Amino acid sequence: MASPTALFWGYENALPASVRAADASKAILDALAPLGIRIVDRKVYYDAAAGGPGEELCLNGFSLVHTPRRGQKESVDKKMIVDMLGFAWERSVSERDGIKPCVVLITGDGDYAYAMNKL
């Protein structure tokens, strides 16, 4: 059985301005397809005031998580880390067949290295 997998995408740090969100999401999903994982959740974190992915990613199955900065750079980081750890914990507890959950993080920000190492 395939690992339950969640994608967490920090939109502000991971996409060059010349790349469309729909093209990037297709490339991401195409890259993950041969790995034998089961994608159960897709979330993209963004600040709508700073410009976001719009409906492109929603149409590709991503949940849009509006994360206003409110003058704090770390608000996206904190929300993503809590969601990643929550997903991993909930799936680890609920999967009784020994299959471990998988987290895919898409970001250009190194602030997540410690959390990913712990996962």
User: What value does the mean pLDDT take over residues 93-112?
Assistant: 81
Q: Quote the CA–CA distance of 84 and 73 in Å, as a whole number.
A: 18
C-beta separation of 117 from 87 below 8 A: no
Query: Which residue would you say has higher pLDDT here, 40 or 19?
Result: 40
Domain that holds residue 17: 3-118
Mean pLDDT across 109-116: 84
Mean pLDDT of 69-86: 82
Does the structure show a pLDDT above 70 at 56? yes
- CATH of residue 56's domain is 3.40.50
Q: How many domains does the chain have?
A: 1
